[in-house]
Amino acid sequence: MKSGCSRTLCSASLLLLVHAQPLLSQTDVKSKALAQVFSVGSNSHGELGLGTYQPTTVPVACPKGPFNAVRAFAAGYRSAALTSEGKVYFWGSSWLHDLTVPGDGSYNSYHASAATTIDVPNPTLLSSMYSNVIAHVAAGSNHLLVSTDRGIIFAQGENRFGQLGTGDIENRDGFEQIADFSDSLVVDLQTSLQNSAAVLGNGKLYMWGENTYGQMGLDSEELGSASRGVFRVPTFIKTLEKHFIVAVSLGTQFIVVLDAHGNVFAQGRNDFGQLGLGHYDPVPSPTLVSQVPNVVAIACGLHHTVLLNISGDVFVTGSNSAGQLGLGDQKQRNTFTHVQFEPQVVCDTTDSSMLQGETA
C-alpha cells in the first residue's frame, strides 16, 4: 500500500499529515484513514499541538492527537485537523469559547481591544460542532470556517473585512451559521486574511470579504469599479458563471480559480507577479492563465502561486524573497516557471494541500 504525506505551511510552522494509505478525496470524510499529525517549526502559541511552547527543528508527532486525521491546516498561530469521523480538533492561539480547557492558569491568555485569546497547546475537540459531520475546514489567519456534509457553512473569529460572511464586520467568539447550500453541497472551502470562498457541487463560486484589488472578480461592464468595497455575505461570482468551477485558492488580496477543464483564472492584486500574467498590474476580473493548461491542483501563498498539471509538473510565480518558488534563487517571477525537482519522490501528489505554503 502506497504511503504519502500532505503538508501545510504558514508563518514559520509546518504540519505534516503522514498516511499509511493513499490520501482521501475531500468529500470522503467518513472513510477510515490511518494517519498521524506531525509538526515542526515555531511554537510560541502552542500551534504545533505538542503540549508545550517549545519550537522544534524536526517533525514531532502530536502526542494528544491520536485521531484519524484526513486533513491538517496551519494558519498563523492557529492549527486544526479534520478527522475521518467528520470532527474538528483545534490548537494554538484561539478566540473560541467552546474549547474545554483547564481554568488553572496553565494556558496562556492575552487581552486585546478586539478579543481575548487563549493559547491551546494540545489538540482539542470543537465541542459546538460535535453534533455535525464536518466535511471541510478553512483556517484563516484570525478566523475559521467549517462546512458540514449537508452543505451548511459556519464561521468564527475576526471579521473586520467581512470575511466571516455574517452580514456585518463584528467578530464572533463562537460559530455562527452563514450559509445553507444543502441543495448543491460544498466541495471546496478556502480562506485568506481578507476573504473567504466556497465552491459548490454545481460548479458555482461564492466569495465574501474585501474587494479592494478586485480580487473577488466582480468587475464587469455592468458594475465596473463599483464592485470595490466589502461584501459581508456569500456572493455569487457571476463573471465565472459560464465555467464549472471545481477549486479555488486565496492569497493576500488575490484569487486563483480552477475549472473542470483544467483552466486557471486569476484575479486581484498582482504587485509581486503572483497572477502569472506577465505584468504587475491588478486584475479586477477573472483572466485566463493560458500559459499552463490541464491543471489539476492550485495553491496560493501570501504573494505567490503554485500550479500542478496533469503530467505532474509544478509551475510557480510571484514573490520569491525566501526562495519559496523552489527555483534556486530569490528572484520574483511574473510568469509561471517550471520547477525542476530532484528524482527522488517524498510525497504523493494526489492532494493539493501539499502545495500550500508561504514563507515571505
Q: Which residue has the higher pLDDT, 115 or 23?
A: 115
Query: 259 to each of 26, 102, 132, 155, 256, how far by Cα in Å?
Result: 16, 46, 29, 26, 10
Q: How many residues are listed for the chain in this entry?
A: 360
Mean pLDDT of 128-156: 91
> Residue 243 in contact with residue 217, Cβ under 8 Å?
no
Strand, coil or helix: 50: coil
Share of the chain above pLDDT 90, in %: 51
DSSP conformation class of 47 = T
Share of the chain above pLDDT 70, in %: 76
**Which amino acid is present at 293?**
P
Strand, coil or helix: 271: coil
Closest to 73 (Cα-Cα) out of 134, 114, 118, 31: 134
Count of CB atoms situated within 10 Å of the CB of 182: 12
> Residue 267 in contact with residue 285, Cβ under 8 Å?
yes
> Residue 341 in contact with residue 287, Cβ under 8 Å?
no
| Strand ranges of the sheet holding 283-288, from the earlier edge strand across to the other edge | 245-250, 254-259, 264-268, 283-288
Strand, coil or helix: 181: coil
CA dist., res. 107 & res. 46, Å (int): 10
Which pLDDT band, with edges at 50, 70 and 90, does 20 fall under? very low
Q: Which residue has the cell 449537508?
A: 150
Predicted confidence at residue 14, as pLDDT, reads: 58
Give me the half-sphere count of Cα atoms (radius 13 Å) on the Cβ side of residue 351.
26
| Per-domain boundaries in the chain | 132-346
Lowest mean per-residue pLDDT among 98-102, 131-135, 140-144, 345-349: 345-349
pLDDT in tens, 178-196: 999 999 999 999 999 899 9
Question: Phi then psi for 262, rounded to 5 degrees?
Answer: 85, 15
pLDDT in tens, 201-236: 999 999 999 999 999 988 765 555 656 789 999 999
CA dist., res. 251 & res. 253, Å (int): 6
Average per-residue pLDDT for the chain: 82
Rg for the chain, CA atoms, rounded: 19
DSSP conformation class of 339 = P
**114 pLDDT more than 70:** no
Q: Which residue has the cell 448543491?
A: 184
> Residue 76 in contact with residue 141, Cβ under 8 Å?
yes
DSSP conformation class of 355 = G
Write down the CATH number for the domain with range 132-346: 2.130.10.30
Strand, coil or helix: 222: coil
0.85 exceeded by the pTM? no
Give me the half-sphere count of Cα atoms (radius 13 Å) on the Cβ side of residue 303.
17
Lowest mean per-residue pLDDT among 25-34, 140-149, 250-259, 333-342: 25-34
**116 pLDDT more than 80:** no
pLDDT in tens, 72-84: 888 778 888 898 8
